[in-house]
Structure 1
Amino acid sequence: MRAAIYVRLSRDTEESTSPERQRAACEALCEARGWTVATVEEDIDVSGFSKGLERPGLQRILTRLAEFDVIVFFKIDRLARSTVDFAEIMKLSEAQGVALASATEPLDLTSSMGRAMAKVIAVFAELESDTIGMRVSSAHEHLRREGRYTGGRVPYGYRVVPNPDGAGKVLEVNPEEARTIHLIVERVLAKDSLMTIATDLSKSNVPSPGHTSRQTTGKRSDSKQWYTGSLRSLLTNPQLLGQVIEDGKPILRTDGLPLVNRTPILDMDTWQALQDELSRRANPRDRRREGTSLLRGIVHCSLCGFRMYTYVAKGRLRYRCIGRLKKRQGGEHIDCYGVSIAGEAMEEHVEATFLKAFGQLPVVRMIEQAGEDFRPQIRQAKEALSDLEKDRYDRGLFKGEDGANRFAAQYVKLEERIASLEEKQRHAKPAGFVAVPTGQTYAQHWKAADTAGKRDILLDAGAYVEVSPAKKSGRTLDTSRLAVFLGEDGQIRRADADGKDVEKVIREIAAREAGSRDR
């Protein structure tokens, strides 16, 4: 009989079932039975539980079943870690007339009783695998709760160091990477595009999150190239708050809030502002992509109030109103015939008007001061409550009586925390605004910005442009067709044209002015 020997080991440090011992036992069985060893296939460092039947060595045997008469293995748990996988292997081998033989278990798999006993053993092998997995997972979670590093990818902004309080290793803030993160966050909050930031980081040779120079373990790329995807992934990682992540989710405390057991790189206020800005950019209605026109979202038609969009005619950029087309698609009719205007000349006129009015003024950032502001904590607690509900009702966790009790206890604690924070917020000092100088004039800021950055400067300055129909044709721009509004007047007009809550915009302007006067 032609025998195929199969050897598997999850970890090559398991001496009790080493590949050599497994192979020797299988070869001894073949010699005793008079079988000829046709091939020996191995899967080393391959989990029989997580990989299932998708193991290279096993697949090489299963695809060549016609060449063998028997498959020999050390123990059933080396062949399969789940009852389903073992049953599938038995089905495939029986269909080809191939027997299964264990080198250490007295089973006759050619009889129905022997096959039944083999399946019982496979059930216990699966149970043992599950138990080992739960034990390892529990041990890792315990170590993470203690603040220990359990291996894997090191979060950007941290580094692995010996545990100062005992055995093992921990993560501490990497000063250089933390400075890089703060620089990135400042630029994002200053409206710089992720593409511009990534390009600048790549040019300055700052090691990227995947670079080998910042990894303690694991194979990484030697490229220092930054990408917008890696930037967004970095900036949305709650590990920047010192939270501990397991299976892609923060580990929770008994009160349902994320566990924080290492020094945060960002404070909660900065984190919330950063997430709000990234969410704004992800919204298709508010996204301002690099490479689009300077005045998109700023120029409106004076006849119908609709925004004007760009197109190219005879190689030249133009803006035109498509309000009539939009209304016609909705079954309505308006008198606007589609006003259009030369794009480059209009952009130059608006730029000159803006710099004349704002160019020499210092750029200040109106930063909201929370005072006694419990809103970030309320938001975090509500997000934790939502995640807790998803864990139970969507993901099927908290099963059984003990699970239900733990769910109820965490739910009550979170509700109490939310109620307490909301009560504090009702009596908190109102938030205000403070003007923070940037050290630059608008002209300097404008000169250094790309198209997307310049558009953001105009939008933040309340720029709003109305275009009237042409009175006569001509090669030069008739500037009398343009009405350029800046500041509060422009903000209010743009909000009205975009269908936003004008009263809310007015209240926000008043609040900023009041905050600026108070300081």
Structure 2
Amino acid sequence: MSAGNKRQLVCAVYTRKSSEEGLEQEFNSLDAQREACEAFITSQRHEGWKLRVNRYDDGGFSGGNMDRPGLVKLLADISDRKVDVVVVYKVDRLTRSLSDFAKIVETFDGHGVSFVSVTQQFNTTTSMGRLTLNVLLSFAQFEREVTGERIRDKIAASRRKGMWMGGTVPLGYDLEDQRYVINSEEAKVVRTVFKLYVELVCVRRLQVELKARGLKTKVRKYKSGKTVGGVNFSRGHLYYMLNNRTYLGEAVHKGSAHPGLHEPIIDQNLWDRVQATLNGNATDRKNGVGAKEPSLLAGILFDDRGNVLTPSHTSRRGIRYRYYVSQAVLQNRDDKAGHIKRMPAEQIESLVIDQIEKLLADPVRVAAELKTPNENENPKLSEVVDATDKLRNRFAKAVSARKREILLQITRKVVVGSESVAIAIDKNGLIAALGLAKGRTTNSSNAVDENSKLSRDMTQFFEIRVAARLKRSGREQRLLIGEMNYAAVSKKADPGLIKTVMRAHKWNAQFVTGTSTDEIAKVEGVHRGYVAAVIPLAFLPPKLTEAILEGRQPPKLTAKKLISCSAAIWMQATAR
């Protein structure tokens, strides 16, 4: 057949470039690809090839997927049978994915379209040509994956060195020379957010307070002239801020934190208090006990090596036991933990509440601790007596949530050691809680000292130190201070002891009515010797039985010891 009688083939040129770099030039990579393809089509004019003027260009699109406007348009025209031949500069311009290539070729075959690469001669109508093309595409896909791995490794290595690798700049920082630089005005807002959260203990209330103060999110201006931000904080934004380790001066990549090249806005102490409060609130929400059993000391309880003790809990036989656990233990840093790794929550809370109540019952000491060199600022003793009495009554009657608010106001921190508990009382917070701040010069606990990295003058605190130690009793730990047993103060009944005493009365009643110990043991699924040992406990002194039921038993008394005790020891336990 002569050249003049050959069927005309409409040829579409497809071009692609992965990045947008250089596309703004008058003659760019896409133009160069198209020029080479057009020249090839011209050379095949004798075969009836004719250039389709429509352009199918994808500038700034990866070859790893098919979500490209130029390719989508090309496939649509092929479906409409407007194209007979697709011409590309290189096969990887069309795709770098074998699976995508299979889909594209299936579309080509379904509509009788041929595929040509200018720099790589392929005939897709033969099995050998298709095999060769698949092998080449395998290398193209491999190259794409290796390039991706190199990029990911580069980003990870850079983050480990604390370098900025893109992303939204957080409130409190500006970006200069590819590095975060503190924005002093925004940093004040960040510190205020963190400090207020520790005081308010609730993101919802924090959101309301920030709105009342007129504090807004970061204003961001884009090259296009568009401006976003400068609006009220949402709860989600606040949760993100409170968990953002960037404010500690760290760079985070895939969950791992590394020292950053930027300066911190928040110090470690404040960060730990915020995280402990967040964890405490999360635990309470999860178990639906936020209103009934808030963790009173969340955020202010530390071990003797500075680790925050975070609220936690366990459940045994339907009974929930609350604890405070060292962050060092939770983060698998046992070597950094203090002497106390885990503390029964109700016991330490009872101790602190008791010491605060004792302080408020001693107005003479309160007046002495709050005394300043300026006599004109010191309230009269009668005023202190009246104020402490009112606060003590309010504190005693307060529900748990309100009690925690008062504790956070007047208590800076509680430190537990192997032999003592130290409670740091914030003088300014105590003055405010007593209502004695009028006419007095104080360093507000909310004030931000830019030069001290949030450290506060220790003269604004005084300490209550109590000799106390943890002692194990069976599976439980009990906090002892002098002769005071704070496990008993918290009225935490021992389920094991109570169950044993109840069994004793039940089995004794059965035994009296003629049921043998063997029969009781068979029904209960225990050894007859155990039944015989438990039944005598039905004759415990009434005072001891009452103490066990109310949780006032001696700290060393366990069910096992009770069974093995003689009557004389029972009487001795009752005398306590």
Length-normalised TM-score, structure 2 = 0.50
Gaps of 5+ in 2: 1-8, 311-324, 342-416, 438-485, 494-549, 556-576
- Structure 1 residues 198 and 3, CA gap change in structure 2 (3 angstroms): farther
Q: Where does residue 61 of structure 1 map in the other structure?
A: 74
How far apart are the structure 2 equivalents of 1:370 and 1:198?
31
Of the structure 1 ranges 200-209 and 87-96, higher mean CA displacement relative to structure 2 is found in 200-209
Alignment of 1:67-466 (within 5 A): 67=81, 68-162=83-177, 169-191=178-200, 193-202=202-211, 206-209=215-218, 211-212=219-220, 221-246=228-253, 248-250=254-256, 258-282=258-282, 283-286=285-288, 367-368=300-301, 370-374=303-307, 418-422=333-337, 432-436=422-426, 437-438=428-429, 440-441=432-433
Deviations 1:459-517 (A, max 9, x none): xxxxxxxxxxxxxxxxxxxxxxxxxxxxx9xx96999xxxxxx979xx9xxxxxxxxxx
Identify the residue that residue 453 of structure 2 maps to in structure 1.
Answer: none
SS across alignment from 1:224: coil
Contact 1:172 1:262 in 2 (8 A): yes
1:35 aligned to 41, 50, 59, which one?
A: 50
The answer as to whether partners of 2:251 and 2:259 remain within 8 angstroms in 1 is yes
User: In structure 1, what is the Cα distance between the partners aligned to 2:114 and 2:298?
Assistant: 77
Deviation at residue 129 of structure 1 after TM alignment:
1.3
**Letter of the 1:249 counterpart:** G
**Could you say what secondary structure the match of 2:168 adopts?**
coil
Alignment equivalent of 1:13, drawn from 21, 24, 34: 21
The amino acid that maps onto 2:277 is E
Give, in angstroms, the shift of residue 120 of structure 1: 1.0
Name the SS of the counterpart of 1:190 in structure 2: helix
Paired with 2:299 and 2:186, the residues of 1 have a C-alpha distance of: 27
Alignment partner, residue 319 of structure 1: none
Matched, 1:47 2:62: yes
Secondary structure of the residue that 1:35 maps to in structure 2? strand
Of structures 1 and 2, the larger Rg is shown by: 2
In the aligned structure 2, how far is the partner of 1:190 from the partner of 1:494?
29
How far the C-alpha of 1:80 sits from its partner, in A, is 0.9
Task: Give the aligned residue type for 2:244.
Answer: N
Cα distance in structure 1, aligned partners of 2:216 and 2:207 = 11
CA shift, 1:263, in A, is 2.8
How far does the alpha carbon of each residue in 1:334-362 deviate from its partner, in whole angstroms, 9 at most, with x for none? xxxxxxxxxxxxxxxxxxxxxxxxxxxxx
Distance change (3 Å), C-alpha of 1:101 and 1:238: same
Which aligned pairs between 1:478-489 and structure 2 lie closer than 5 A? none
Deviation at 1:239, TM superposition (A): 2.1
Residues in 2 aligned to 1:432 and 1:222: alpha-carbon distance in whole angstroms: 44
- C-alpha distance in 2 between matches for 1:125 and 1:41: 21
Q: Distance in 2 between matches of 1:20 and 1:382?
A: 62
> What amino acid does structure 1 have at the position aligned with 2:195?
E
Q: CA, structure 1 residues 372+384, in 2 after alignment: closer, same or farther (shift >3 Å)?
A: closer
Give the Cα–Cα distance (whole angstroms) in 1 for the partners of residues 434 and 338 of structure 2: 42
Question: Residue 16 of structure 2 aligns to which amino acid in structure 1?
Answer: R
Q: CA deviation at 1:227?
A: 1.0
Distance 2:127 2:164 in 1: 50
CA–CA distance in structure 1, aligned partners of residues 326 and 150 of structure 2: 34
Mark the CA change 1:220 to 1:135 in structure 2 (over 3 Å): closer, same or farther.
farther
Question: Residue 183 of structure 1: CA displacement?
Answer: 0.8
Deviation at 1:5, TM superposition (A): 2.2
Q: CA deviation at 1:122?
A: 0.9
Matched residue, 2:12:
4
Q: What displacement does 1:428 show? A: 6.7
Q: Distance in 1 between matches of 2:203 and 2:97?
A: 46
Structure 1: gaps (5+ residues):
163-168, 252-257, 289-295, 299-363, 386-417, 446-487, 496-501, 508-519
Instruction: Report if the CA contact (8 A) 1:72-1:100 is conserved.
Output: yes
Asked if the contact 2:303–2:339 (Cα under 8 Å) also holds between the matched residues in 1, the reply is no
Contact 2:329 2:337 in 1 (8 A): no
Quick one: which amino acid aligns to residue 272 of structure 1? Answer: D
| Contact 2:92/2:137 (8 A) holds in 1 | yes
Q: Cα distance 1:503–1:263, how it changes in 2: closer, same or farther (>3 A)?
A: farther
* C-alpha distance in 1 between matches for 2:302 and 2:327: 19
Secondary structure at 1:63 match in 2? helix
Q: Which residue of 2 aligns with 1:405?
A: none
Measure the CA separation in 2 of the matches of 1:376 and 1:492: 19
2:33 is the counterpart of 1:22? yes
Could you state the TM-score of these two structures normalised by the residue count of structure 1? Answer: 0.55
- Is the 1:77–1:125 Cα contact (8 Å) retained in structure 2? yes
Helix, strand or coil at the partner of 1:244:
strand
Choose 100-109 or 373-382, whichever is displaced more.
Answer: 373-382
Q: Tell me the amino acid that sits aligned with residue 112 of structure 1.
A: S
CA shift, 1:172, in A, is: 3.0
**Hey, what's the Cα distance between the residues in 2 that align with 1:285 and 1:4?**
64
C-alpha distance in 1 between matches for 2:289 and 2:69: 46
Q: Deviations over 1:161-198 (max 9, x none)?
A: 23xxxxxx322333222221211112211126434433
CA contact (8 A) 2:88 2:116 kept: yes
Give the Cα separation in 1 of the matches to 2:305 and 2:329: 19
| 1:495-506 → structure 2 map (5 Å cutoff) | none
Between the aligned residues of both structures, percent identity stands at 24
Are the equivalent residues in 1 in contact too, given 2:217–2:231 (CA < 8 A)? yes
Letter in 1 for 2:41: C
Is this contact kept in 2: 1:370–1:431, CA < 8 A? Answer: no
Change (3 A) 1:229 1:133: same
Change (3 A) 1:89 1:384: farther
Which structure has the higher relative contact order (CA within 8 Å, separation 6+)? 1
Change (3 A) 1:134 1:171: same
Within 2, Cα distance between the matches of 1:272 and 1:371? Answer: 15
Q: CA RMSD in A?
A: 4.2
Q: Secondary structure at the match of 1:373?
A: coil
Once residues 85 and 329 of structure 2 are traced to their aligned partners in structure 1, the CA distance between those partners, rounded to angstroms, is 59
In the TM superposition, 1:498-517 aligns within 5 A as none
Once the two structures are TM-superposed, the CA of residue 157 in structure 1 deviates from its matched residue by 2.6
Deviations 1:346-392 (A, max 9, x none): xxxxxxxxxxxxxxxxxx9994454423467996666666xxxxxxx
Contact 1:366 / 1:434 at 8 angstroms: preserved in 2?
Answer: no
